[in-house]
Structure 1
Amino acid sequence: MSVRDVVSGDPLLVAGFDAFARHGFKRATMADIAAAAGMSRPALYLRVKNKEDVMRAVGAALLADSITRARAAADDETGDIATRVVAVLEAKLGLTLGLAERSEHALELLAEYGRVATSEAAQYTAEVERLTARVLAATDAGADRCAVIATALVRTVQGLETELDDAQRARKLLTALVDTTVAGLTRS
């Protein structure tokens, strides 16, 4: 499913996503969003106060989908530990890479979402870390150690999210890092 498909159930979210993807957050206007949604600007303002509200709503939908995929990966006990950890982290990395496929403004949009929805973005990151630590705990490395390593892995994913020009390389680096990390934990 593409990142745009995630918001497809609500014309306002589709319009906001498309306007932000096309123009970036700073250049997108409420007029752009209203026109794309097939609404008048007064009708748009009945649903949202400003484009920050639109950004929060679009971002919330994307993060909810990403967390659903991360939870499913963490809960899938048929795969080995490394595969499950990669899948949890790929839910986060894939969101950014998918956004980059649709927009040259991906990094700006992520930064703006972090600005307008600081606590939501922090909660999302904390949940990805928690899920990663939970899967790593199957190595019997100890909860505290797994939590620290999960934080390090998520921070690494955040770094990989800046490599938008080569998604395949970013995914390959993630897999190599997780494989090495899990191998080290299982030997301990």
Structure 2
Amino acid sequence: MLDAEARQRQILAAALRTFGRYGFRRTSMALLAEAADLSRPSLYQHFRGKEDVFRAVTADLIDGMTEAAERAARAEGPLEERLFGVLSVKACALGGTVDPPLRAEILRDAERVAGDLLVSCHRRMLTTTSGLLRSASDELRLIGEEFDAEEVAALLLAAVLGISQEPSDAEVMERRLRDLVRLTVRGLRAA
């Protein structure tokens, strides 16, 4: 018998897979209950409805993603690898959990259902990314002179969002993200 926290984790994991496979609109509470190996009445004991489940999945995904990005920023190693680590967390959050054809759709639904959570996530990712760039300002000669760290971070996050919405496989997404990071870092090192 699972305790309440373990049951919640089971539901959220099943819901993430289900929303990722079918999208928000085509997912029903019956489908979510089946995926979590629960009855519908049992699922309703934990969540009021599909939007409630979706918000909980989104919040859980965002917390894990932003914590991983913060760890990547603090890690040892070359700047390119740390920046890639921060940005890949965001790309993988969507790319690794949502079937490629559904990525843009699920983001539109997330903006509608959990827009406040996405705004908070963006702020946290912007703080982490710009902080990493500022911490490397001695290496990135153009940060602070010609480019503002927060503006560069915002540009990178927008590019990552675009990369993650494309219906590409994980290898293509990773290659494009590595190219983006390489171009950015090398460009900001230019004198």
TM over 0.5, yes or no? yes
How many residues in Structure 1 have an aligned counterpart in Structure 2? Answer: 180
How has the CA–CA distance of structure 1 residues 150 and 37 changed in structure 2, closer, same or farther, with 3 Å as cutoff?
A: same
Superposed counterparts of 1:1-188, under 5 Å: 10-76=9-75, 78-100=76-98, 104-137=101-134, 138-140=136-138, 141-142=143-144, 145-188=148-191
Indicate the larger mover: 166-175 or 78-87: 166-175
How has the CA–CA distance of structure 1 residues 116 and 83 changed in structure 2, closer, same or farther, with 3 Å as cutoff?
A: same
How has the CA–CA distance of structure 1 residues 111 and 40 changed in structure 2, closer, same or farther, with 3 Å as cutoff?
A: same
Residue 103 of structure 1: CA displacement? Answer: 6.6
Gapped regions of structure 1 (runs ≥ 5):
1-6
Residue 18 of structure 1: CA displacement? Answer: 3.3
Q: d(CA) in 1 for partners of 2:20 and 2:148?
A: 39
Identity %: 33
Contact 1:136 1:182 in 2 (8 A): no
Give TM-score scaled by structure 1 length: 0.84
Q: d(CA) in 2 for partners of 1:158 and 1:46?
A: 35
User: Which residue of 1 is the match for residue 3 of structure 2?
Assistant: none
Aligned Cα root-mean-square deviation (Å): 2.3
Instruction: Write the letter of the residue equivalent to 1:129.
Output: L
Q: d(CA) in 2 for partners of 1:22 and 1:158?
A: 19
Structure 1 residue runs of 4 or more that deviate by more than 6 Å after TM superposition: none
Contact 1:139 1:185 in 2 (8 A): no
Residue 156 of structure 1: CA displacement? Answer: 0.5
Q: d(CA) in 2 for partners of 1:8 and 1:122?
A: 28
Q: d(CA) in 2 for partners of 1:46 and 1:120?
A: 23
Contact 2:83 2:181 in 1 (8 A): yes
Give TM-score scaled by structure 2 length: 0.83
Secondary structure, counterpart of 1:27 in structure 2: coil
Contact 2:95 2:164 in 1 (8 A): yes
Gapped regions of structure 2 (runs ≥ 5):
1-5
How has the CA–CA distance of structure 1 residues 94 and 18 changed in structure 2, closer, same or farther, with 3 Å as cutoff?
A: closer
Residue 42 of structure 1: CA displacement? Answer: 2.5
Contact 1:99 1:106 in 2 (8 A): no
Residue 14 of structure 1: CA displacement? Answer: 2.7
Contact 2:103 2:165 in 1 (8 A): no
Residue 63 of structure 1: CA displacement? Answer: 1.5
Secondary structure, counterpart of 1:46 in structure 2: helix
Q: d(CA) in 1 for partners of 2:103 and 2:9?
A: 21
Q: Identify, as 1 or 2, the structure richer in helix.
A: 1
